[in-house]
Amino acid sequence: MSVERNVDEIIRRMTLEDKIAYCTGADIWQSKSMPKYGIPAFKMSDGPNGLRCQEAEADMIGVHDSLPATCFPTAVTVGATWDTELYTREGEAIGKEAHAAGVTVVLGPGCNIKRNPLCGRNFEYLSEDPAHAGEMAASFIRGLQSTGAAASLKHFAMNNQEYKRMMGDCQADERAIREIYLAPFETAVKKGKPRTVMCSYNKINGVHSSDSKWLLTDVLRREWGFDGMVVTDWGALNDRIAAFKAGCDLNMPGGAKFMEKAALKAVKDGTLSEADIDASVRRILTIALSSQRQSRGEVDFEAHHALALEIARRGRGTAEKRRRLAGQRDRYGYLWPYGQRVSLSGGRLQPHKPHKAYKPHRRSPGRSLLPLL
Residue whose C-alpha is closest to residue 127's, from 193, 77, 201, 202? 77
CB-CB contact of 70 with 305 (8 Å)? yes
Assign 3-class secondary structure to 94-119: HHHHHHHHCCCEEECCECCCCCCCCC
Calculate helix-pair angle for 274-289, 260-268, nearest 10 degrees: 130
| CA distances to 71, 272, 282 from 275, in Å | 43, 9, 10
Hey, which residues does 199 pair with through a beta bridge? Answer: 156, 232
State the Cα–Cα distance between residues 17 and 9, nearest whole angstrom: 17
Among candidate residues 46, 83, 211, 233, the one labeled active-site is: 233
Residue 150 φ then ψ, to 5°: -110, 135
278 is catalytic: no
**Distance from C-alpha of 349 to C-alpha of 356, rounded to nearest angstrom:** 18
HSE-CB for 84 with a 13 A CA cutoff: 14
**Is the CB of residue 48 less than 8 Å from the CB of residue 110?**
yes
Distance CA 160, CA 27 (A): 28
- Cα dihedral 175, 180, 182, 185 sign: positive
The whole-angstrom separation of Cα 10 and Cα 312 is 47
CA distances from 360 to 69, 86, 112 (A): 19, 22, 28
Q: Do the beta carbons of residue 53 and residue 74 sit within 8 Å?
A: no
- Counting runs of H as helices and runs of E as strands, what totals does the chain give? 12, 10
Q: Annotated active-site positions, please?
A: 233
